[in-house]
Structure 1
């Protein structure tokens, strides 16, 4: 028997759009019908209801977050109150990730990507829907973010104030928005699985060989360019590499045919530009022969004016640059 998913009618948000899409990726609700209404009688007939109804009860498949006293979070490590997206992801997300990865059972990869996807994709939707700012209100942003997030793009599917639509047209727009949000989550999870997760083993190997690169153990060299920042910060925590044991510079080969190497500073946080130890100020903004002369290292290519990254023509040259940068 085909099941029915219920959510509210009218103006929609990204949280219930994603929640509905997530449910359709589960075995229980695959191919389910969708009812958008605020009629309590009709909602009572639905097999599952999200973002409306004033009830959170997994036992009866009711997943609303608007009621007074609701304080549910993803787990004890997160403080963001859940929206319908987070609620549905909390209870069905592992199955969704497992199905996307083609896994028959939950394993370490599924658990890791389940957590990572909440933190990197779903939590922002929970915060946005619940009116939780990303920064304290006494901080003025240095620039305005471009309105291209999935939350904004779902919002744009709603009718504008001066172009009215029928309920049928709005419902059709909701389905488009739900499909779009779901497709982006799919792309995010598969990107983690195919590109982000495999990089972890490269960072592990580089950490194991850190003392071979520099006696300090604070420089690592990756055999291939890959997304390393989050893995490195996580692995440092696991290994107790804090304080004067933390990694300061990461070396890796460019993908260009010339075989050049990069030296990059480890940031204080994965998404930031503040570094643990920037490259020497006296090198910044110089290139090629002039950089080689100033640094004393042959094969210099560039040092970014911001001091967070540079390049050398050889692996050995990059290692020498790191050695000198540690001392300066």
Structure 2
């Protein structure tokens, strides 16, 4: 039976996550985790993480504490992240695609789906573990408030307090693996079952944008509840569409009406966007707004201009078209 080696004593999120990754794979699924700093004990293990002073993937040794170690996902040619890796990042770098395929019960690690999930799970989950373990602060200066519950704290709290006896360290380490495993798996499941289908809807909308409006600047989504901002900006960058001038998104809401929203400058922005709806429309509603816009059945335009509403899909597209013309971003004679 294969054996996984890591250090004993206080455990940290990085080696706990690294061991979870390995235990997710067929070749290590029943492997006991041997926790020791004794070189002779570690030599009996088939793979060693976060201890031993050696990084050598050919020998299945994944420590990052040695003075000369400076590997990142970027330096290893994997992803464009410059953060120094912990044992979690090292194991993810070499086994992450297999881990994802195994957890999702997919047949192959070689597919665009795996590539997207591999990159997103590093960005959204593993990257923070690497950064925290290497002492990299998330922001400069003192924090404005305290976060009492994070993945790191949930793992750390499973270690005994300074005045408690470590009666059953292996049981606590197993509990920690279950904590990180559950959170990693839940986030991966969300990406696979919700994030990726949304990405496909956004990709389809971008590809069909000229069918919905001749300008090609209005992106119309078939499913109004689809989260689109992050996907649109990523796909735009991947396909080098920045010069196409994507300006407005049109989508339905749960009440049956439609929205026209200015595309934001980044995925986390709401009010800072590429082209707010015209100032003359802002803060008006219903008939008054319809008279100003020149399109019947308008519903509202937010006072900031980031979003407006119409009773129909076609009307929302008309609002977007009128905005493009008024702002000098498109002409029907162009």
Give the TM-score of the pair, scaled to structure 1.
Answer: 0.86
| Cα separation, partners in 2 of 1:41 and 1:219, compared to 1, 3 Å | same
Q: Does structure 1 residue 82 correspond to structure 2 residue 85?
A: yes
* Deviating more after overlay: 3-12 vs 76-85: 3-12
Cα deviation for residue 212 of structure 1 reads 3.5
1:155 aligns with 2:156: yes
Q: Which residue of 1 aligns with 2:128?
A: 124
Q: State the alpha-carbon separation in 2 of the partners of residues 210 and 294 from structure 1.
A: 27
Offset, 1:232: 1.8
In the alignment, which residue of structure 2 is the partner of 1:271? Answer: 268
The answer to whether 1:230 aligns with 2:225 is: no
Pairs aligned (count) = 319
Deviation string, structure 1 residues 304-327 (Cα, Å, up to 9, x no partner): 455433433221232133223333
Q: Is the 8 A contact 1:9 1:171 kept in 2?
A: no
SS of alignment partner, residue 58 of structure 2: helix
Equivalent residues of 1:302, 1:311 under 8 A apart: yes
Distance 2:10 2:289 in 1: 58
Where in structure 2 are there 5+ consecutive unaligned residues?
A: 328-334
Residue segments in structure 1 that go unaligned for 5+ positions in a row: none
In 2, the alpha carbon distance for the partners of 1:309 and 1:144 equals 32
Indicate conservation of the 8 Å contact 1:15/1:84, yes or no: yes
Name the counterpart of 2:60: 61
Larger mean Cα displacement after TM superposition, 57-66 or 169-178: 169-178
1:93-242 equivalences under 5 Å are: 93-106=96-109, 107-135=111-139, 137=140, 144=145, 146-161=147-162, 164-225=163-224, 226-242=226-242
Q: Retained in 1: the 8 A contact 2:160–2:166?
A: no
CA apart distance, 1:238: 3.7
Displacement over 6 Å in runs of 4+:
none
Structure 1 residues 304, 7: closer, same or farther in 2, change over 3 A? farther
Pick the aligned partner of 1:320 from 294, 318, 323. 318
Q: Is the 8 A contact 1:83 1:130 kept in 2?
A: yes
> Judging changes above 3 Å, is the alpha-carbon distance between structure 1 residues 324 and 144 closer, same or farther for their aligned structure 2 residues?
farther
Task: For residues 14-65 of structure 1, give each alpha carbon's deviation from its aligned partner in whole angstroms, at most 9, with x where no partner exists.
Answer: 2111111111001111011112233333222222221122111112211111
**Higher relative contact order by CA 8 Å / sep ≥ 6: 1 or 2?**
1
Partner of 1:198, secondary structure, is: helix
